[in-house]
Amino acid sequence: MKDQSKTKQVLIQELVSLRHRISELERSESERKRVDKQILAAHERLQYLLSSTAVVIYAAKPSGEYGATFISENVARMVGYNPEEFIRDSNFWFDHIHPEDQPIISEEAPKIAALQFPHFYVQLKIEWDRSNRYEQPLTLLLLDLDNFKTFNDTYGHVEGDQVLRRLGQVVKRCLRETDLAYRYGGEEFTILLPMTTSADGAVTAERIRTEFKKEHFFPASDQDVHVTVSIGIAQYKPQEEMKVFVHRVDQLMYQGKKNGKDRVCAE
């Protein structure tokens, strides 16, 4: 009888313990659902913010490798490519650099941010919207150093970096406060000229070309070297897609190179 009483007491204790455990699990499940709900709400708020902002938001690898780990959906409206294309292929950015520039980008990858394109395209989108809304002219310049790979191979990257810095200084001197210049690739610069026609932009482009040609470089003690630049220039056409606009200017710049380099090429 005593043993039966003890058995009942043990069972009651186990039952009580089990009920406590069930209550803990129920509280845990309730807490999990509450946290899941908060995460879902935060995710929805984030998605709303990402879709409503005019800029592209992205996450890159800390190592500086090519490629993005995340990029917001509005990149498709801005440059015409889906986020999945940027994330899926780590060479996507690299593949959209002109073949002549790829060797330089590969060599200078640690020094050049992998995601410089979006910074330019963010501002281009702003100016693109402004141009369409207010019917104001917008002109784009694309500059590329002539024979820069040969210069780098001959004198080294330290001297090459000096050329790039000097070109940046010349560009800055020749632009107005409202003009915007970006490092677009290894040896390429883009310049946005808001509220500017192609005719006026050509004057700026020619000023940059002639001023930079005056620069002296001394990569060796007994050498005085001049470096030239080729520039493509075009005015935005109403309702033209941004990537078509940029491609048009890019083709003009390379047409200038084919025509002998050290020149401004416009439509």
Buried b (16+ CB within 10 A) or exposed e, 193-210: bbbbebeebbebbebbbe
Of 187, 188, 215, 241, which residue is the catalytic one? 187
Structure-block tokens of residue 113: 């941010």
Per-residue DSSP letters for 44-69? HHHHHHHHH-SS--EEE-TT--SSEE
Helix (H, G, I), strand (E, B) or coil at 256: helix
Per-residue DSSP letters for 148-203? HHHHHHHH-HHHHHHHHHHHHHHHHHHS-TT-EEEE-SSSEEEEEEET--HHHHHH
What's phi and psi for 62, nearest 5 deg?
A: -60, -25
Respond yes or no: is residue 108 known to be catalytic.
no
Structure-block tokens of residue 13: 């204790």
Q: Which helix (H) or strand (E) holds 104?
A: helix 102-107
Place of tokens 């292929």: 89
Please identify every residue annotated as catalytic.
Answer: 187
